[in-house]
């Protein structure tokens, strides 16, 4: 039996994760689910958005399903997402982008880079230290290479023509790719952001640094209909957490209009991690059939609410499990 930690977070996290959890419960009623509270709402109540107890709870689970958190622009507010990634050492962020004629996996280094958390704000200057280590680069390169071995091509995204730490990152990635014998190429990240939109079929596995991977995957979401459809996995050697790419969207929270597809697809990635690839494939087929049936949320031009879309997907899964 698997134990799954569920952290809805803030804003629309409460709505979309509820739907995703229901899908998981439908496929695996034997799983044990437990809730973990964290985020801005937690900070408002306790003065801390994520305590040691919550981190321990995430570590106790076989996997975690995470929603979205609001991070206010306050210099003393601790980023919940960054703390979780570092505490659980979730060094590989995987963001699949799949559509007609293309299947891209963006592999983003997840624990250092410009999101190192080493920052200083003064009266006349603010600084953030961009950290790129050999250990961090080698392990994210190896994670991308493992995926590439089952696919076709590795692309290394960087800005080595300007940033010295990217020269360091690029050279290590190239050395690892050569040692593993996988086909690879490299591309400046700004050119890559444009070309991936113009020629998505040319890309397969893309590995890059933390902030570049964050931006690139958001850009690539245009190919599939926006952030509301983009799932992600945060993987380490011992722990794993799955979350939609989108934010907490407080402006639409509680209105039953958020698109839950990214959260449902994140649940499917969780199932793959837990060894149920059949269930993961069934979820994706149910999503596609629901869309083909004309049931869509407002961002996709439809009229279905968050709950209604989730119910339609669950109904389709129910039909498929009875076949």
Catalytic residues: 115, 159, 190, 214, 218
Edge-to-edge strand ranges of the sheet holding 184-188: 32-35, 3-9, 63-68, 240-244, 231-235, 92-99, 102-109, 205-208, 154-158, 184-188
3-state secondary structure of 104: strand
DSSP string, 208-223: E-HHHHHHHHHHHGGG
Question: Two tokens at 181?
Answer: 């014998």
* Distance, CA of 104 to CA of 294 (rounded, Å): 26
Task: Please identify which residue in the block is written with the tokens 């389709």.
Answer: 316
Task: Please identify which residue in the block is written with the tokens 């269930």.
Answer: 279
* Distance, CA of 191 to CA of 319 (rounded, Å): 45
Residue 32 — φ and ψ, nearest 5°?
Answer: -100, 120
* Distance, CA of 91 to CA of 111 (rounded, Å): 5
C-beta separation of 16 from 263 below 8 A: yes
The b-or-e profile of 238-260 (16+ CB within 10 A means b, else e) is: ebbbbbbbbbbbeebbeeebbbb
* Distance, CA of 29 to CA of 199 (rounded, Å): 42
The b-or-e profile of 199-211 (16+ CB within 10 A means b, else e) is: ebeebbbbbbbbb
């Amino acid at each position: 039996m698997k134990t799954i930690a569920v952290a809805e977070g803030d804003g629309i996290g409460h709505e979309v994760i509820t739907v995703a959890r229901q899908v998981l419960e439908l496929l695996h009623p034997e799983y044990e689910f437990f809730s973990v509270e964290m985020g801005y709402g937690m900070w408002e109540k306790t003065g801390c958005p994520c305590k040691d107890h919550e981190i321990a709870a995430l570590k106790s689970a076989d996997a975690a399903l995470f929603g979205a958190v609001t991070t206010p622009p306050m210099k003393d507010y601790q980023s919940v997402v960054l703390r979780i990634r570092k505490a659980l050492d979730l060094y590989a962020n995987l963001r699949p982008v799949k559509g007609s004629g293309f299947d891209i996996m963006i592999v983003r280094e997840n624990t250092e880079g410009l999101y190192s958390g080493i920052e200083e704000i003064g009266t006349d200057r603010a600084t953030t230290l961009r950290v790129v280590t050999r250990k961090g680069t080698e392990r994210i390169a190896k994670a991308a290479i493992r995926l590439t071995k089952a696919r076709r091509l590795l692309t290394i995204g960087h800005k080595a023509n300007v940033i010295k730490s990217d020269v360091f990152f690029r050279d290590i990635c190239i050395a690892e790719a050569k040692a593993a014998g996988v086909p690879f190429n490299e591309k400046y990240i700004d050119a890559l952001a444009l070309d991936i939109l113009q020629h998505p079929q040319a890309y397969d596995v893309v590995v890059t640094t933390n902030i570049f991977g964050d931006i690139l995957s958001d850009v690539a979401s245009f190919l599939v209909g926006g952030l509301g459809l983009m799932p992600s996995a945060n993987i380490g050697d011992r722990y794993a957490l799955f979350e939609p790419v989108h934010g907490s969207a407080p402006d639409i929270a509680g209105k039953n209009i958020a698109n839950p597809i990214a959260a449902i697809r994140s649940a499917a990635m969780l199932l793959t991690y837990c060894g149920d690839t059949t269930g993961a494939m069934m979820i994706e087929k149910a999503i596609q059939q629901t869309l083909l049936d004309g049931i869509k949320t407002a961002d996709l031009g439809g009229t279905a609410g968050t709950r209604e879309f989730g119910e339609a997907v669950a109904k389709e899964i129910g039909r498929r499990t009875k076949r």
